[in-house]
């Protein structure tokens, strides 16, 4: 996300799309889909939902393209739409009692929305410890509200400035900061049982 | 010795503190704060970035392309001229409507403001007992929706309206819970929020409806109330741990 002006290729692609050429949208998608999916993954916590949120964000952006005034870059705009879409998806998942939240299991699978990140250097014991640690981290992250999770992951993991996160979430910078602080505080408390008490 | 709060130290560890030098000096002399600061740093290390899976671009493009409609080209020039000929009468009507709405809206705004400001400000801290953790999600969603309403210049999009509808269904439950637990201040704020949601859910999306809603229902005042509620909710949960 940056405030630099859009380059010529993106501006032209938008003009072509608005003139009725759907395939011109591919230029924008190829440039931004990876970063959009990355942010969506941070917010949703699993690959399947991240792709769904990214797809929905690109579709919403396409449908809103006629009203895109280009006073911000396409990347800033699509990122803002992505964050809102991903947060809404997480909220929908939370409401749907039949949905099983992402978690680590002994046998991770896509159908169960579980994630496994390969560690080729770890032995069997290391793999087990990695799984346990990942499970604890995911359980702690699941306790955060969608806004706290979004603000925390984007600030801490993606190193996005607080002002940009606030703009994307449509809240004040102070609100975004407070969300990050609350998240860190909650996560720290969640480590209490394994750290043997907070210092 | 004056100690720094957990929040100050989190800001310090995230390089968001405006007092970095003073905190750094203090940590060299205060083992209590240094331990807390190290605990925060350890938390940030534990929750550092995991690898992100790479999406299949071709597959995603094919999936997306199937959902893309052909967008309508820009309006022809003749239409623009036609539209500008009517600009002055339309501007005149809009100004008259604005004056009427301001007079009408201010009246309602005052009545609404008195009601919920008493609820929030007249009882000191809103909650002292730990509340249902799920309400934190609800208040977050409420804050984002109201911010969207306050910042939108045109009609709200379908996703936002859908979210309002969904929040409306949940809000009734939280109002009832607040009443049952005797937290009348929280119930009053949530009831006001429910009224905004009901209006959003029922009113047809026009270019003026969002603006009128802001004015008539004092959504910016309500947003402040929601933020206070959320802070109190957060403090009460923190105190319980």
| Strand partners of residue A114 | A103
User: How large is the ipTM?
Assistant: 0.74
| pLDDT at residue number B147 | 79
Kindly report the backbone phi and psi dihedral angles of residue A107, in degrees, each rounded to the nearest multiple of 5, phi listed first.
-120, 85
* Alpha-helical regions (H) of A65-123: 74-95
Of B13, B147, B159, the CB nearest to A171: B147
Q: Which residue has the higher pLDDT, A14 or B229?
A: A14
- Cβ partners under 8 Å of residue B130, min gap 6: B236, B237, B239, B240
Using the CB atoms, write b or e for B159-169: b if 16+ within 10 Å: ebbebbebbbe
CA distance B148 to chain A (A): 7
| pLDDT at residue number B105 | 65
CA distance B225 to chain A (A): 14
| pLDDT at residue number B124 | 36
**B183-189 mean pLDDT:** 83
- Backbone φ/ψ region at B168: left (φ over 0), alpha (ψ -120 to 50), beta: alpha
CB pairs under 8 A between A and B: 155
| pLDDT at residue number B118 | 38
**B117-126 mean pLDDT:** 39
Is residue B129's pLDDT more than 70? no
Of A91, A181, A188, the CB nearest to B141: A91
Is residue B2's pLDDT more than 90? no
| pLDDT at residue number B170 | 84
pLDDT band of B143, cuts 50, 70, 90: confident
| pLDDT at residue number B109 | 55
| pLDDT at residue number A174 | 92
HSE of A156 in the Cβ direction (CA atoms, 13 Å)? 30
| pLDDT at residue number A119 | 47
Is residue B234's pLDDT more than 90? no
| pLDDT at residue number B52 | 87
| pLDDT at residue number A27 | 94
Is residue B84's pLDDT more than 80? no
Cβ contact, residue pair B147, A38, below 8 Å: no
Cβ contact, residue pair A62, B68, below 8 Å: yes
Cβ contact, residue pair B227, A26, below 8 Å: no
HSE of A60 in the Cβ direction (CA atoms, 13 Å)? 20
Count the neighbouring beta carbons within 10 Å of the beta carbon of residue A195: 14
CA distance A5 to chain B (A): 23
| pLDDT at residue number B110 | 53
| pLDDT at residue number B172 | 85
- The mean pLDDT of chain B is 76
Portion 22-41 of B in contact with A at CB < 8 A: 35-36, 38-40
| pLDDT at residue number A115 | 47
Give the pLDDT of chain A (199 residues) as one tens digit per residue: 444 556 888 999 999 999 999 999 999 999 999 999 999 999 998 899 999 999 999 999 999 998 887 777 898 889 989 998 998 888 888 776 545 444 444 455 554 455 444 444 556 666 666 667 778 888 898 889 989 999 999 999 988 899 888 988 888 999 999 999 999 999 999 887 655 444 4
Residues B13-52: tens digit of each pLDDT: 999 998 889 999 999 999 999 999 999 999 999 888 778 8
Cβ contact, residue pair A170, B67, below 8 Å: no
CA distance A105 to B28: 43
| pLDDT at residue number A104 | 44
| pLDDT at residue number B235 | 61
């Amino acid at each position: 996300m940056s405030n630099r002006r859009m380059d010529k290729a993106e501006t032209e692609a938008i003009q072509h799309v608005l003139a009725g050429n759907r395939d011109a949208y591919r230029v924008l998608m190829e440039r931004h889909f990876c970063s959009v999916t990355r942010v969506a993954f941070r917010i949703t916590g699993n690959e399947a939902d991240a792709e769904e949120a990214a797809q929905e964000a690109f579709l919403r952006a396409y449908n809103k393209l006629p009203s895109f005034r280009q006073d911000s870059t396409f990347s800033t705009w699509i990122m803002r739409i992505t964050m809102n879409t991903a947060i809404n998806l997480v909220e929908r998942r939370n409401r749907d009692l039949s949905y099983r939240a992402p978690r680590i299991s002994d046998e991770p699978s896509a159908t169960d929305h579980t994630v496994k990140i390969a560690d080729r250097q770890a032995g069997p014991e290391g793999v087990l410890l990695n799984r346990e640690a990942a499970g604890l981290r995911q359980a702690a992250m699941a306790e955060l509200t969608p806004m706290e999770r979004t603000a925390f992951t984007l600030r801490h993991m993606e190193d996005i400035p607080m002002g940009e996160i606030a703009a994307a979430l449509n809240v004040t910078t102070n609100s975004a900061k407070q969300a990050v602080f609350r998240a860190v505080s909650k996560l720290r408390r969640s480590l209490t049982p394994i750290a043997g008490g907070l210092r | 010795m004056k100690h720094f709060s957990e929040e100050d130290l989190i800001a310090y560890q995230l390089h968001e503190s405006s007092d970095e030098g003073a905190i750094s000096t203090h940590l060299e002399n205060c083992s209590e704060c240094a331990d807390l600061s190290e605990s925060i740093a350890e938390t940030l290390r534990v929750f550092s970035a995991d690898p992100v899976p790479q999406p299949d671009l071709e597959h995603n493009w094919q999936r997306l392309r199937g959902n893309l409609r052909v967008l309508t080209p820009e309006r022809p020039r003749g239409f623009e001229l036609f539209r500008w000929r009517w600009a002055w009468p339309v501007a005149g009507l809009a100004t008259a409507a604005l004056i009427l709405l301001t007079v009408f809206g201010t009246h309602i705004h005052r009545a609404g403001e008195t009601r919920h400001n008493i609820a929030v400000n007249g009882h000191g801290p809103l909650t002292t007992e730990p509340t249902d953790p799920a309400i934190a999600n609800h208040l977050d969603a409420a804050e984002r929706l109201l911010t969207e309403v306050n910042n939108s210049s045109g009609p709200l999009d379908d996703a936002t309206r859908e979210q309002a509808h969904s929040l409306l269904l949940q809000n009734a439950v939280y109002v009832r819970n607040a009443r049952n637990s005797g937290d009348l201040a929280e119930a009053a704020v949530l009831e006001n929020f429910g009224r905004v949601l009901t209006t959003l859910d029922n009113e047809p999306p026009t270019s003026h409806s969002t603006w009128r809603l802001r004015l008539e229902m004092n959504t910016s005042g309500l947003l402040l109330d929601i933020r206070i509620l959320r802070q109190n909710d957060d403090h009460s949960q923190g105190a319980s741990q």
